[in-house]
A and B are shown apart, each in its own frame.
Chain A
Amino acid sequence: MSDPVLRIENLTVSLPSWADRPRAVDGVSLEVMRKEILCVVGESGSGKSVMCKSILRLLPEPHVRISAGRIIYEGQDLLALPDEGMRSIRGGRIAMIFQEPMVALNPLMTVGRQTDEIIEAHTTLRPADRRKRIVEVFGDVRLPDPVRLLSSYPHELSGGQRQRVMIAMSLVLEPALIIADEPTTALDVTTQAQILKLLKELQAKHGTAIMFITHDFGVVAEIADRVAVMRHGALVEHGHVGDVLTHPQHAYTRALIAAVPSLMPRHVLRASDTTQPKSNLLAITDLKKSYASRGGAFSLTRERVRAVAGVCLDVPKGRSLALVGESGSGKSTLARCIVGLERPDTGAIRLEGTDIAGLSRAGMRPYRKALQMVFQDPFASLNPRWRVGDIIAQGPIVNGTPRAIALQEARELLRLVGLDPKVADRYPHEFSGGQRQRIGIARALAVKPKLIVADEPVSALDVSVQKQVLDLLDELRTTFELSMLFITHDLRVAAHVCEEIAVMKDGAIVEHGSTADIFARPQHDYTKTLLASVPGRAWQSKCANR
């Protein structure tokens, strides 16, 4: 264990002059031991991804280039190797797995051929032997029907299968080290749990060292032997996983760990709340919505996809309800139907008794005020050509408030969401992701709604910012006695802000109950799987008990 397979010494990576900082990685020294999983943790801009790309010299040179340091592998400095020597290391001795397997694989080449290329490039094996090896390794990563898969194209596989192919490609020549750059971030929670388990098993079986880049301390707790924490291009802290998680030395590490939403429900409903059910703000009955799908941009056929398949759901007044589901579960479509961005095929949505489901765009207008939305992408949700004040005042102005008054109210709202009222005259591009999300919240509040539908409002944000925005939403909701429908894929986030949880799968609600009940006594199998898939669950419950 004490024998390093890779030693990074004082690595410095310079950025081009137009970047916001001079260096992406600033004097990092780090060792990866044989047969260990080292997790490198950091938020966006920490330099973790650039560091791991520089090991195989995959940086977009000449703009981003290594300006100092050494990377020692088996006694030789990788940075000093000639190109040919470097090529024999890549894929053969050190392999890499990327975040988004859909774009990391060539769409026009079968996955079998893409794997074959590695063996072809590094060995003199004959085609038949290469094929045997590929089938073997596809079996190792538990891909179904490996022989048939050889001639499949990436688009024919599921996201999880594609990532298994990437892992198979990295394993095919049994390298000494695998660098995995956020390999589970683009996957659903349950798939992520499977891939993490697989990686750990394979690592134990083959004794490969893995350098695992992630932003999620839950994942760290799940698989790491050692942890290295990075911030602004520098190494903040590193050590054994148990030590760092339980006794973080550096303030930044402590803050990061504290920002991970806990699995303990924050809002425990009092007995009176549960026995006297509140009246419903929104009552959804048997809602259905399907799309004519062209099967992606490349298909010539149309088929219908059922996104929401008969949902019944009540949102009580003044409560927050989390709608939890994985991608494709139909949770976003349901949300869009509620705020009137989509017209459902059948079913009813009763807003305080009035059915708004079948209304036309014009007919919907009087009810818009009551139903507001906070969007997912803080960069796409604000019109780049409008001033922040106008963006927030837009709703009230449409609803007849004089412009001057609406703008004055917009300034008040900015203060309320924790921004300087003076920023009303600025344009969106001057703000960070977290600040933009605050502006989005202010916009939703401007028309004094009864229900806020928040569609994954923090999934595009870093963990530390995530927590601030969640806390803000929670606080405002309580202050204004709003109802909230919170769409998320992350049970931890749901536990943090919501009193009730509804679990959605394949267009239907499979379970609905108070957050405490769902966490303590999940009834449906799928809910149990979801809960078991939350990364770092064991660690968090240990922390909670302490």
Chain B
Amino acid sequence: MGSARLLRYVVRRLLQAVPVVLGVVVLNFLLLQLAPGDAATVLAGEAGGAPLEYIQQLRQRFGLDQPVLVQLVHYVKNILTLDLGYSFRNASPVLPLILARLWPTLLLMGMALFISVVGGVVLGLLAAVWVRSWKDHVISVVAIIAYAMPLFWVGLMLILLFSVKLDWLPTSGMEDAAAFYEGWERVIDIARHLILPSITLSLFYIALYARLMRATMLDQRGLEYVTTARAKGLTEEQITLRHMLRNALLPVVTVAGVQVGSLLGGSVVVESVFAWPGLGQLAFQSLFARDLNLLLGIFFISSCLVVAVNILVDVIYLLLDPRIRVG
């Protein structure tokens, strides 16, 4: 794989992402139009609390007396210069509020993505190898149950079991703020806090990828290239690990890419259950404060995040599949 080819691909994907990001901005604007009251009151926080002068100032800045299209241009210009506005509830501009919450969410999401892909692939692979045996049935039944559980409920049940009853793991937060841990102790503390939320978030996806992996592995088994490999005198392990595994990974990677957005959505629920100080919890808080401006900012930034992760997943796919041509 030439690095020039890779670079060209990434640049192309970045260019393709531009309309998506613009689309989110426009969507945000449309949502603002949909909200009751004019945009200025919405942006200032609906329940009141913003001084009247600020609302007037907003009206002027957005030119609310002007046609909708002009307003749209203003809005797009503001967002693209990363001016996401001001949150009166938090007495702070929106952008730093969001950035402060970004890395806990990235940590949780990255961990959950890792656990779910690795766990799902391994379980699906084993189920396919043990197909029709009791082990396969156990994996399949557990997967279909995990697939039907609401995330927030899984989180509460895990808290009930591991925190309330067994008292093994902390119930909430990202670290023990009162302990002032440093260095490795802090890392371990965060890791302990991370276990339950990341398992909660990944359980559904482990089930999804395990089922997908099992099905694709079984499909691969019937394909001619596997017969060829067998006719060459390879062992079953060699056929499974060297030939089928990589082919079966491709659909899993594709679906994992598609699911990034839904994973991020799931983290809103999980973060609010575990009081994890990320974007999701911020969204939850802004929801109750009726701080729509902050909420829309979170929606915008998280959409950008999904686009970025999607590009990363596509690069992984490119590395796995030599058939993709880059012009």
Contact = CB atoms under 8 A, between A and B. Distances in A.
Contacts of B231: 56, 58, 90-91, 95-96
Interface string B1-20: 00000000100100000000
B324 A300 contact: yes
B320 interface: yes
A440 interface: no
5 cross-chain pairs, A with B, having the tightest CB-CB distances, nearest first = A301-B327, A91-B233, A91-B232, A90-B233, A298-B323
Given A298-B325, A299-B324, A107 B232 contact: no
Interface stretch (A97-105, A140-148, A365-373): A97-105
B323 A121 contact: no
A470 interface: no
Contacts of B235: 87
Given A98-B224, A100-B224, A300-B12, A108 B233 contact: no
Interface in B284-327: 320-327
Given A88-B233, A90-B232, 10 more contacts: A58-B230, A87-B234, A103-B224, A103-B225, A105-B225, A106-B225, A117-B229, A121-B234, A298-B321, A298-B323
Given A105-B225, A107-B225, A301-B327, A153 B233 contact: no
Given A298-B324, A298-B325, A301-B327, A118 B233 contact: yes
A182 B228 CA distance: 14
B247 interface: yes
Which of B12, B222, B322 gathers the greatest number of chain A CB atoms within 10 Å? B322
A118 B233 CA distance: 7
A107 B323 CA distance: 8
Contacts of B242: 109, 117
A277 interface: no
B168 to A, nearest CB: 43
A299 B233 contact: no
Contact of B327 (A91, A105, A300): A300
- Report the interface size class on chain A: 35 or more
Given A103-B225, A104-B227, A121 B232 contact: yes
B74 interface: no
A7 B326 CA distance: 52
B232 A153 contact: no
B233 to A, nearest CB: 4
Given A100-B224, A104-B228, A107-B247, A117 B322 contact: no
Contacts of B9: 300
A174 to B, nearest CB: 14
Nearest to B228: A104
B223 interface: yes
Nearest to A99: B224
A117 B233 CA distance: 9
B135 interface: no
A96 B227 CA distance: 10
Interface string B211-231: 000000000001111011111
Contacts of B326: 300-301
A298 B327 CA distance: 11
B247 A87 contact: no
B243 A109 contact: yes
B230 to A, nearest CB: 6
B233 A301 contact: no
Given A106-B243, A108-B246, A117 B234 contact: yes
29 contacts: A53-B227, A58-B231, A87-B234, A89-B233, A90-B230, A90-B231, A90-B232, A91-B231, A98-B224, A98-B227, A103-B225, A106-B228, A106-B243, A107-B247, A117-B229, A117-B234, A118-B232, A121-B233, A121-B234, A121-B238, A153-B322, A295-B325, A296-B323, A299-B327, A300-B9, A300-B325, A300-B326, A300-B327, A301-B326
Contacts of B225: 103-107
B228 A105 contact: yes
Interface in A99-148: 100, 103-109, 117-118, 121-122
Nearest to A299: B325
B247 A106 contact: yes
Contacts of A104: 224-225, 227-228
Interface in A69-108: 87-92, 95-96, 98, 100, 103-108
A198 B225 CA distance: 23
B229 to A, nearest CB: 7
A400 interface: no
Given A103-B225, A300-B324, A169 B12 contact: no
A363 interface: no
A108 B232 contact: no
Contacts of A117: 229, 232, 234, 238, 242
Nearest to A298: B323
Interface in B234-272: 234-235, 238, 242-243, 246-247
